[in-house]
Chain A
Amino acid sequence: MIRRAVRFVDQRSGGAPLVRKALRYVFPDHWSFLLGEVALYAFVVLVATGTYLAFFYQDGTAVVHYRGPYPPLRGEEVTEAYRSVLDISFSVKAGLLIRQTHHWAADVFIAAIFVHLLRVFFTGAYRKPRELTYWLGVTMLVVALLEGYLGYSLVDDLLSGMGLAIGYAVVLSIPFVGANLAELIWGGPFPGKHEFFARMYVLHVFLIPILIAVLLAAHLALVALRHHTQFRGERRQTERKIVGLPLYPAYTPRSLGLFSAVAGVLFLLGGLVQINPIWLWGPYHTYSSTNGAQPDWYLGWLIGALRLVPGWDFTVGHYTLVPNPFWGGAAFPLVVFAFLYFWPSLERRFSGDVRYHNLLERPRDAPGRTAIGMGVLTWTSFVFFAGASDRVDVLFGLSYTAQIWTYRVLVWVLPVVVGAVSYRVCVELQRGELVEHERKRAEAEARAARGAA
Chain B
Amino acid sequence: MRARAKDVALSALLLVVGRRKRPRLRRGEHERIVPEQPPDAGGELLAIALLAASALCAIAFVAFYALDRLPNQTQLLGGALGLCFCFLAAALIVTAKRIVVSEQIEHEYPLEEHPHEQETVVQIVEESGDRLTRRRLFKLALFGAGGALGVALLTPAASLGPILDVDPFYGTPWRRGRRLVDGTGKPYRAADVEEGTFYTAFPEGADREELGASVVLVRLAEDELTLPPALARYPAEGIVAYSKICTHAGCAISLYRTPLFAPTEPGPALVCPCHYSTFNVADGGSVEFGPAGRKLPMLPLAIDGRGHLRAAGNFDEPVGPSWWGVRNRSAKP
A residues neighboring B (CB under 8 Å): 24, 26, 93-94, 96-97, 100-101, 129, 162, 165-166, 168-170, 172-173, 175-180, 182-191, 193, 195, 199, 225-227, 236, 239-246, 249-250, 253-254, 256-261, 263-272, 285-293, 303, 306-313, 315, 318-325, 328-329, 356, 358, 390, 400-401, 404
Flag whether B331 is at the interface (Cβ < 8 A). no
B residues neighboring A (CB under 8 Å): 34, 65, 73-79, 81-86, 88-93, 95-96, 99-110, 112, 157-158, 160-166, 168-169, 171, 200, 202, 208-211, 213-214, 244-245, 248-255, 272-277, 287, 289-294, 320-328
* 19 further contact pairs, Cβ within 8 A, besides A173-B323, A323-B294: A129-B112, A162-B274, A180-B163, A227-B109, A239-B109, A245-B104, A253-B92, A254-B92, A257-B88, A260-B92, A266-B82, A267-B78, A267-B82, A289-B251, A291-B254, A291-B255, A311-B277, A313-B294, A319-B327
Interchain CB contact under 8 A, A260 and B249: no
Give the distance to chain B from A181, nearest Cβ to Cβ, in Å.
Answer: 9
- Indicate which residue in A129, A268, A324 contacts B83 across the interface (CB closer than 8 Å): A268
Interchain CB contact under 8 A, B253 and A289: yes
Q: Are A325 and B78 CB-contacts (below 8 A) given A26-B107, A240-B108?
A: no
- Indicate which residue in B91, B93, B292, B324 contacts A178 across the interface (CB closer than 8 Å): B324
| Residues of A with C-beta under 8 A to B90 | 257
Q: How far is the CA of A249 from the CA of B214 in the complex (A)?
A: 65
Interchain CB contact under 8 A, A183 and B161: yes
Residue of A nearest to B278 (CB): A401
The 10 closest A-B pairs by CB, nearest first: A271-B78, A313-B293, A264-B85, A268-B82, A257-B92, A169-B321, A287-B214, A260-B89, A323-B322, A264-B86
Q: How far is the CA of A353 from the CA of B164 in the complex (A)?
A: 49
Interchain CB contact under 8 A, B293 and A311: yes
Give the distance to chain A from B306, nearest Cβ to Cβ, in Å.
Answer: 26
Which of A94, A182, A225, A243 is most buried by chain B, counting CB atoms within 10 A of its CB? A94
Q: Are A241 and B253 CB-contacts (below 8 A) given A172-B322, A286-B245?
A: no
Residue of B nearest to A251 (CB): B96
Interchain CB contact under 8 A, B276 and A249: no
Q: How far is the CA of A186 from the CA of B104 in the complex (A)?
A: 56
Interchain CB contact under 8 A, A289 and B294: no
Q: How far is the CA of A266 from the CA of B81 in the complex (A)?
A: 10
Interchain CB contact under 8 A, B326 and A320: yes
| Residues of B with C-beta under 8 A to A180 | 163-164, 166
| Residues of A with C-beta under 8 A to B291 | 306-311, 324-325, 328
Give the distance to chain A from B326, nearest Cβ to Cβ, in Å.
Answer: 5
Give the distance to chain A from B264, nearest Cβ to Cβ, in Å.
Answer: 14
Q: Are A268 and B86 CB-contacts (below 8 A) given A173-B323, A320-B322?
A: yes
| Residues of A with C-beta under 8 A to B165 | 183
| Residues of A with C-beta under 8 A to B293 | 311-313, 315, 320, 323-324
Q: How far is the CA of A249 from the CA of B104 in the complex (A)?
A: 11
Q: How far is the CA of A186 from the CA of B293 in the complex (A)?
A: 23
Interchain CB contact under 8 A, A168 and B82: no
Give the distance to chain B from A100, nearest Cβ to Cβ, in Å.
Answer: 8
Interchain CB contact under 8 A, B95 and A173: no
Interchain CB contact under 8 A, A323 and B104: no
Give the distance to chain B from A42, nearest Cβ to Cβ, in Å.
Answer: 13
Residue of B nearest to A45 (CB): B85
Interchain CB contact under 8 A, A254 and B274: no
Which of B76, B83, B100 is most buried by chain A, counting CB atoms within 10 A of its CB? B100
Residue of A nearest to B76 (CB): A271
Interchain CB contact under 8 A, A97 and B287: no
Interchain CB contact under 8 A, A242 and B106: yes
Q: Are A253 and B93 CB-contacts (below 8 A) given A96-B74, A168-B250, A271-B81?
A: yes
Q: How far is the CA of A291 from the CA of B251 in the complex (A)?
A: 11
Residue of A nearest to B78 (CB): A271
Interchain CB contact under 8 A, A186 and B161: yes
Interchain CB contact under 8 A, B321 and A311: no
Q: How far is the CA of A100 from the CA of B73 in the complex (A)?
A: 14
- Indicate which residue in B79, B157, B169, B292 contacts A268 across the interface (CB closer than 8 Å): B79
Residue of A nearest to B103 (CB): A250
